[in-house]
A and B are shown apart, each in its own frame.
Chain A
Amino acid sequence: SAVISQKPSRDICQRGTSLTIQCQVDSQVTMMFWYRQQPGQSLTLIATANQGSEATYESGFVIDKFPISRPNLTFSTLTVSNMSPEDSSIYLCSVQTGGGVNTEAFFGQGTRLTVV
């Protein structure tokens, strides 16, 4: 299993500013995932963050808007840049401790972001 500490848990930000979300895991994991959950919607994968390499972004998400760092096997950050009200969402980091299809995904508590 894995315990994930994600912070901040919530924030209210002014448009045009940036927010960095941190994700700390209690064990070493190869892959970390960042998801966005817009209000009333499902989870959408933003990117996969592997230690020692560039993050892999999904269609519709770009590095300039959502830069990701992965300095080691237990930590990652996601920055939401130049925010607009459309960025108001819950952002979740997730890890998997194995590579098989049966591997449970563990999630952080989420960051509830409101952009005003």
Chain B
Amino acid sequence: AQKITQTQPGMFVQEKEAVTLDCTYDTSDQSYGLFWYKQPSSGEMIFLIYQGSYDEQNATEGRYSLNFQKARKSANLVISASQLGDSAMYFCAMREGRLAGANNLFFGTGTRLTVIP
């Protein structure tokens, strides 16, 4: 089974509006971390926000917030007040804590966000 599922291949949002990018995950670990990365057309991966499995409050970083629903195993990214520079690929990723040394991230297939002027 896929560890990270992003069901929206592409999304459009009007400039200055908010948009939600969906992410669901699958793990049997109690301890895990969820990440969102932005990948512009240039190719680099830019860290946006992190949510830990034991965090009781939703993470926020500026215009980014993470809607964490643990029982539903979802970690949706909310971008408020979209800007043209937000147009990029967005990847949801997870790191599991169960195995010592298994520290790599598992990535979803990504959502391409296009902000419309």
Contact = CB atoms under 8 A, between A and B. Distances in A.
Interface of A: 31, 33, 41-45, 48, 90, 92, 94, 96, 99-110, 112
B81 to A, nearest CB: 24
Chain A interface mostly: strand
B43 to A, nearest CB: 4
Interface of B: 31-33, 35, 37, 42-45, 47, 50, 52-53, 91, 93, 95-97, 101, 103-105, 107-110
B46 to A, nearest CB: 8
Contacts of B50: 102, 104
Contacts, number: 60
B31 A105 contact: no
Contacts of B110: 42
A90 B43 contact: yes
Contact of A101 (B91, B97, B107): B97
A107 B109 CA distance: 18
A48 B5 CA distance: 23
